Structure 1
Amino acid sequence: MPIDNLRILDAIVTRTSLDLVTKITPADLAKPTPCSAWTLHGLLAHMATQHHGFAAAADGESHPDHWRLLPLGDDPIDTYRASVNRVLNAFAAHDLADRKFALPEFSTEITFTAEQALGFHFVDYLVHSWDVAKTLGLPVEFQKEVLDAGLGFAKAIPNGKSRDAPGAAFGPAVDATGPSDLDTIVALLGRSPSWPDRMVPQMNLTPAVRE
């Protein structure tokens, strides 16, 4: 996929996540999420941290400290908004396609192309938007172009024993179907479309914690 197209799709899902996060109340932060290791507070901290990590990588930074979990502070929504603004600005760089990304939570052995990095970020925040919406009991919809791309990425991610390993990006695919492509995407990436009716252990990109 051309990087400019991917950049647009990534911005859509990232802004959707922010739209949903702005609806969070203080009482919501203690709620469980489809990422079973986290309350909504923990999920939001992870999401903000990852934005900063990807932004730092886009700026040529490689130190793992850029991926260290950040506190949400007194205004979690504003903290998240700042992280969204940072990553979208970083991804808007005119020469982004020429840059290499050091993503230590994916690999410390290699760097990644901008297209790969955007793909990782895109699918992560497509699913995290669903996570937040489910937690809040709100609907979330995406246009066909977003879902087509998301389904392609989700199907391309290997589903094997590696997903059970500490630090795996996603838990094992769930044998579940739903009426929408978004249901299929989240099932392929280890979530039950019918959550919370069916609780599924999840993994995130932080070592030994499921997303």
Structure 2
Amino acid sequence: MHTNELRFLDAIVTRASLDLVANITPADLDKPTPCAAWTLHGLLSHMATQNHGFAAAADGDADLDHWKLISLGEDPVATYRASVTRVLNAFAPHDLQDRKFELAEFSTEVTFTAEQALSFHFVDYLAHSWDVAKALGLPVKFEKEVLDAGLRFAESIPDGANRKSPGAPFGPAVDATGPSALDRIVALLGRSPSWPDKA
């Protein structure tokens, strides 16, 4: 998929995540999420950190410190909004497709193309938008173009023993019990579409 198309799709899901996060109140931060290790506070901190990490990589900064978990401070929604602004701005330059990404959290031995980096961020924030929506009990919908791309990427991610390793970005795939394309995507990424009924 071309860089510009990926950039467009990534912006859609990243902005969708912000629209959902904007509904968070202080009382919501301790709620569980489909990411079993994280409350909503932990998930939001992870998402903000990842945005800053990808933005730094797009800017050519490979310092691992950019991937260290950040504090959400007194206004978690504002902190997340700032991270979204930063990553979308970092992905905007016209020469992005010519850059190599050093994604230190993924590997310190290889670099990634812009297309690879954008696809990683896209599928992650598609899933995290669903995570936040589920935690808050809110609906989330995406256009067919987004879901088709998300399904292709989710199907391409190997489902093996490495998904059980500490720090693995996705858990082992589960049966897709829901009827929608988004259900199938999150199931392939290790989430139960019927969460919290089936964790």
Supply the AA of the counterpart residue of 1:8. F
User: Residue 29 of structure 2: SS of its match in structure 1?
Assistant: helix
Counterpart residue number, 1:77: 77
1:165 Cα deviation after fit: 1.2
Q: Which aligned runs of 4 or more in structure 1 are off by greater than 3 angstroms?
A: none
SS in 2 for 1:79: helix
2:181 maps to 1:187: no
AA matched with 1:165: S
Structure 1 residue 105: Cα displacement:
1.4
| Pairwise CA distance, 1:14 | 0.1
- TM (normalized to structure 1)? 0.93
Q: Matched residues in 1 for 2:62 and 2:111: separation?
A: 9
Rounded to whole Å, the distance in 2 between the matches of 1:152 and 1:189 is 12
Query: Structure 1 CA distance, aligned partners of 2:119 and 2:90?
Result: 15
* Equivalent residue, structure 2, for 1:98: 98
Decide whether the 8 Å contact of 2:174 with 2:191 is kept in 1.
Answer: yes
Deviation at 1:63, TM superposition (A): 1.1
Structure 2, gaps ≥5 residues long: none
The corresponding residue for 2:131 is: 131
Name the structure 2 match of 1:167.
Answer: 167
Q: Equivalents in 1 of 2:145, 2:8: separation in Å?
A: 10
Aligned to 1:37: 37
Q: How many angstroms apart in 1 are the aligned matches of 2:141 and 2:69?
A: 29
The corresponding residue for 1:64 is 64
Report if the CA contact (8 A) 2:100-2:112 is conserved.
yes
Specify the alignment match of 2:89 in structure 1.
89
Aligned to 1:149: 149
Structure 1, residues 74-132: CA drift from partner, whole Å, max 9, x if none? 00000000000000000001110000001111111100000000000000000000000
Match of 1:204 in 2: none
Percent identity reads: 77
Q: Distance in 2 between matches of 1:93 and 1:177?
A: 40
Q: Which runs of 5+ in 1 are unaligned?
A: 200-211
Q: Distance in 1 between matches of 2:11 and 2:129?
A: 12
Q: Where does residue 48 of structure 1 map in the other structure?
A: 48
For the 8 Å contact 2:177–2:194, the answer to whether it is kept is no
Query: Cα distance, 1:175 vs. partner?
Result: 1.8
Pairwise CA RMSD: 0.6
Assess if the C-alpha contact under 8 Å between 2:54 and 2:87 holds in 1.
yes
Partner Cα distance (1:110, 1:131) in 2: 30
Shift of 1:169: 1.4
State the alpha-carbon separation in 2 of the partners of residues 38 and 161 from structure 1: 22
Aligned residues: 199
In 1: Cα distance, 2:64 partner to 2:109 partner? 13
Counterparts of 1:177 and 1:158 in 2: how far apart (Å)? Answer: 20
> What SS does the corresponding residue of 2:141 show, helix, strand or coil?
coil
Distance 1:31 1:182 in 2: 22
Following superposition, the deviation at residue 167 of structure 1 comes to 2.0
Residues in 2 aligned to 1:41 and 1:144: alpha-carbon distance in whole angstroms: 30
